[in-house]
Amino acid sequence: MSQPRSSAEIGALYQEMILDHYRRPRNKGTLENADASVEMKNPLCGDEIGLQVAFEGDCVCDLKFSGRGCSISQASASMMTQLVKGKSSGQIDAIRKQFRDLMLGDSSAADDPEMRSLRALSGVARFPARVKCALLAWNALASAMAERPSQGTPS
Amino acid sequence: MKLRRDSELSPDLKLRADFPLLVNNPGLHYLDSAATSQKPKAVLDALRDFYETANANPHRGAYALSVRATELYHQSRLRIAQFLGVRDSDSLIFTRGTTEGLNLVAGSWGMANVASGDEIVVTAMDHHANFVPWQVLAMRKGAKFRVCELTPDGKIDLDFLNGLLNKRTKVVAFSHVSNALGTINPIPEIARMVREKSDAILVCDGAQSAPHFPVSFDSLGVDFYAFSGHKMLGPMGIGGLIGNREMLEEMPPYQTGGDMIEFVHDDRTTWNVLPLKFEAGTPNAANAVGLAAAVEYLDRIGMDRVRSHERALMSAAQERLSAIEGLHIYGPPASERSGVLSFTLGDVHPHDLATILDGEGVCIRAGHHCAQPLMRRLDVPATARASFYVYNDESDIDALVAGILKAREIFGYAPV
């Protein structure tokens, strides 16, 4: 059997920044005139994310999220909205892939300067049962990106 | 016997040494027995012994080994029937577990007897396994699907139930004990009400009762009772459905194939007698033997003692957890509850709580407990659930409390 988690691992998981985003989520609410609206659930644990995105050309010009769930899912959504606002679909795709790699245990992904606040979620990789919580908002974003008007061929 | 108050009971069973997984993990505090129980060595030995000395396909071979396997399978059924107070052991059908047993009743009795305009009643505390099969049946048949509401403290609202019943009610399905809240439902009152106002069959989900207190099917007053072996110290993948003999005789088969047939003609097939009529395919003989060993183990302890041990643990846990600021316990008072404690802590999400408790070696369940209709009514997305069994003791409660305090330390405290 896997050993119980160490206090250090728990501490690395629940960093101050995560609790801050959990208690004071950024960009939470609903967006007037959204171009894409996506709802995603994690049926296993009941985490829910609603994501509304407005595009300007190839860029995400604004987005808001709603929903409820654990600190990891909500903090991840909050950080994501801050990070992707104003970015092009190509840039967002690259960050999303890096973040996915980070969650799946590739710690070198954290070296990417674009990752910024997302590094606070690095500790999640040590908790396989929680990885899907961290990825929920990003999966919702991928789905919203696919809905954007005049969508070009994905790179 | 003098009736003692719960707070005077002491959790006196010391059985951890009988459970190899717990022995191998001394720091582990397993508080998720409502999901699945750990297995005593006696059960693991019985499984191994079957495969090492008696393994053959029951009911098939003419050779002595197959006869031995058949005999052990049969003996196991008798032993389990005895444990659950079933005189007619042919009315105990082995299934994969409670879910399959409930699906069997819905798929066989339900498909044959429920018609458009009929009504099916379930309760808001039912596990999805006793909710969805009936919902699907109602949709297929054009029957009305009605959900009985609960009282604020998490019991079946009997007045509400009474109002739902009428001559069109064909099925009343409910759980003996709620897996999410631990509520022990009053079967005699429910049965009396249902019999008086309708001709409905009573289908009882026994997944959380058979493991925890004495159950005697013959005097229970329901028509069907389903249970799972793995929640009562037995192996995964075996359980049973006990049914009213006459109904079982009349019901069409649930699955077809080997073991359940009598004669196969080119144009038709006739069915085997009970219980084999409902046991298509090679029987799960090894696990039946394992489950028989589990009930043997439980009987040696005594189910009254199992219950009083759990009540003592529950009473102690309730007292200590309610003293934690911001901790909210769901469901009826401890004395009306089985060994299940469902709670939340301020705005700390149950999954975060479970992760932090895992760090302390404490295994609890966090989530909707396959009871989403109930979670909606409690207006929470999830709860944390600690559940107790024979191998737990006060040190498990100590660890649980320490873990909850640790979660408060990490998260701080913010009331919801």
What mean pLDDT is predicted for residues B302-322? 96
Residue B51 has pLDDT above 90, yes or no: yes
- CA torsion B179-B185-B191-B197 (nearest 10°) is -90
Among B240, B270, B299, the domain boundary falls at B299
Closest residue by Cα to residue B373 from B217, B179, B162: B179
- Chain A hits for B27, CB-CB cut-off 8 Å, are 4
pLDDT of B346 reads 93
Q: Which ipTM score applies to this complex?
A: 0.88
Which tokens belong to A54? 């407005």
Residue B1 has pLDDT above 70, yes or no: no
For A6, nearest residue in chain B (alpha carbons):
B359
Residue B3 has pLDDT above 70, yes or no: no
Structural domain boundaries enclosing B133: 44-299
Measured distance between the N- and C-terminal CA atoms of chain B, rounded to whole angstroms: 45
- Chain A hits for B348, CB-CB cut-off 8 Å, are 71
User: Does A83 touch chain B if contact means CB atoms closer than 8 Å?
Assistant: no
Higher local confidence (pLDDT), B379 or B173: B173
Residue B98 has pLDDT above 60, yes or no: yes
Taking an 8 Å cut-off on Cβ atoms, the answer to whether A23 and B414 are in contact is yes
For B372, nearest residue in chain A (alpha carbons):
A46
Cα gap B136→B171, rounded to integer Å: 13
Residue B414 pLDDT class (50, 70, 90 cuts):
low
CATH of the domain at A46: 3.90.1010.10
Do B318 and B306 belong together in one domain? yes
Among B299, B331, B362, the domain boundary falls at B299
Cα gap A155→A143, rounded to integer Å: 16
**By CB neighbour count within 10 A (0-12 exposed, 13-18 middle, 19+ buried), where does A28 fall?**
middle
Cα gap A35→A147, rounded to integer Å: 8
In a domain? residue A83 = yes
- CA torsion B202-B205-B210-B212 (nearest 10°) is -120
Number of domains in chain B: 2
Taking an 8 Å cut-off on Cβ atoms, the answer to whether B359 and A9 are in contact is yes
Which residues between 23 and 82 in chain A have a beta carbon less than 8 angstroms from any beta carbon of chain B? Answer: 23, 44-48, 68-72
**From the candidates B351, B363, B408, which should be mutated to test the interface with A, based on the most A CB atoms within 10 A?**
B351
pLDDT of B58 reads 94
Taking an 8 Å cut-off on Cβ atoms, the answer to whether B361 and A4 are in contact is yes
In a domain? residue A4 = no
Q: Which are the contacts of B312, defined by CB distance < 8 A and separation ≥ 6? A: B6, B9, B10, B11, B12
Q: Pick B352's closest partner by Cβ from A9, A68, A70.
A: A70
Residue B340 has pLDDT above 80, yes or no: yes
Positive/negative CA dihedral, A67, A71, A72, A77: positive
**From the candidates B22, B355, B363, which should be mutated to test the interface with A, based on the most A CB atoms within 10 A?**
B355
Segments of B140-238 assigned E as strands: 144-148, 169-175, 201-205, 224-228
Do B310 and B287 belong together in one domain? no
In a domain? residue B35 = no
Residue B6 has pLDDT above 80, yes or no: no
In a domain? residue B343 = yes
Cα gap B101→B125, rounded to integer Å: 18
Is B204 catalytic? The answer is: no
Do B72 and B207 belong together in one domain? yes
Segments of B5-162 assigned E as strands: 29-30, 92-95, 119-123, 144-148
Taking an 8 Å cut-off on Cβ atoms, the answer to whether B351 and A68 are in contact is no
Cα gap B12→B394, rounded to integer Å: 10
Which tokens belong to B373? 């209709």
Taking an 8 Å cut-off on Cβ atoms, the answer to whether B375 and A7 are in contact is no
In a domain? residue B36 = no
Pair B93, B240: CB distance under 8 Å: yes
Which residue bears the tokens 């007698």?
B273
Distance from CA of A7 to the nearest CA of B (A): 6
Closest residue by Cα to residue A118 from A66, A78, A145, A91: A78
In a domain? residue B284 = yes
Name the least confident of B247-256, B314-323, B370-379.
Answer: B370-379
Cα gap B276→B295, rounded to integer Å: 22
CATH of the domain at B347: 3.90.1150.10
Q: What is the DSSP letter of B272?
A: P
Do B111 and B228 belong together in one domain? yes
For A9, nearest residue in chain B (alpha carbons):
B359
In a domain? residue A8 = no
Which residue bears the tokens 């498990």?
B396
Do B87 and B224 belong together in one domain? yes
Give the pairing of strands B224-228 and B201-205.
parallel
Q: Which of A149-153, B81-85, B410-414 has the highest mean pLDDT?
A: B81-85
Q: What residues of B are in the A interface, CB distance below 8 Å?
A: 21, 24-25, 27-28, 347-352, 355-356, 358-361, 366-368, 372, 375, 381-382, 410-412, 414
In a domain? residue B390 = yes
Residue B82 has pLDDT above 60, yes or no: yes
pLDDT of B303 reads 97
Supply the angle between the helices B303-322 and B394-411 in degrees, to the nearest 10: 30
pLDDT of A12 reads 85
In a domain? residue B416 = no
Among B240, B275, B299, the domain boundary falls at B299
- Chain B hits for A11, CB-CB cut-off 8 Å, are 410
Q: Please give the mean pLDDT across all residues of chain B.
A: 95
- Chain B hits for A16, CB-CB cut-off 8 Å, are none
Phi and psi angles of residue B231, each rounded to the nearest 5 degrees, phi first: -90, -5
Residue B153 has pLDDT above 50, yes or no: yes
Do B193 and B292 belong together in one domain? yes
pLDDT of B10 reads 76
Which residue bears the tokens 């509850």?
B337
Phi and psi angles of residue A20, each rounded to the nearest 5 degrees, phi first: -65, -45
Across the A:B interface, residue pairs with CB atoms under 8 Å apart total 65
Do B221 and B88 belong together in one domain? yes
Residue B379 has pLDDT above 50, yes or no: yes
Residue B399 has pLDDT above 90, yes or no: yes
Taking an 8 Å cut-off on Cβ atoms, the answer to whether A70 and B349 are in contact is yes
Structural domain boundaries enclosing A122: 26-145
Taking an 8 Å cut-off on Cβ atoms, the answer to whether B368 and A5 are in contact is no
Pair B62, B275: CB distance under 8 Å: no
Residue ranges in chain A modelled with pLDDT below 70: 1-5, 150-155
pTM of this structure: 0.93
In a domain? residue B1 = no
CATH of the domain at B216: 3.40.640.10
Residue B5 has pLDDT above 70, yes or no: no
Pair B298, B310: CB distance under 8 Å: no
Do B313 and B390 belong together in one domain? yes
Residue B40 has pLDDT above 90, yes or no: yes
Cα gap A143→B21, rounded to integer Å: 43
Taking an 8 Å cut-off on Cβ atoms, the answer to whether B359 and A6 are in contact is yes
Q: Which residues of B76-111 are buried (b: 16+ CB within 10 A; e: fewer)?
A: bbebbbebbebebbbbbbbbbbbbbbbbbbbbbbbe
In a domain? residue B128 = yes
Taking an 8 Å cut-off on Cβ atoms, the answer to whether B382 and A9 are in contact is no
Chain segment B179-190, per-residue pLDDT in tens? 999 999 999 999
Do B405 and B260 belong together in one domain? no
For A2, nearest residue in chain B (alpha carbons):
B25
Closest residue by Cα to residue B254 from B236, B274, B268, B235: B274
Residue B284 pLDDT class (50, 70, 90 cuts):
very high
Residue B291 to residues A145, B31, B240, B337, Cα–Cα distance (Å): 52, 21, 10, 25
Do B71 and B216 belong together in one domain? yes
Do B170 and B243 belong together in one domain? yes
Positive/negative CA dihedral, B109, B168, B173, B213: negative
Number of domains in chain A: 1
Do B233 and B348 belong together in one domain? no
- Chain A hits for B412, CB-CB cut-off 8 Å, are 19
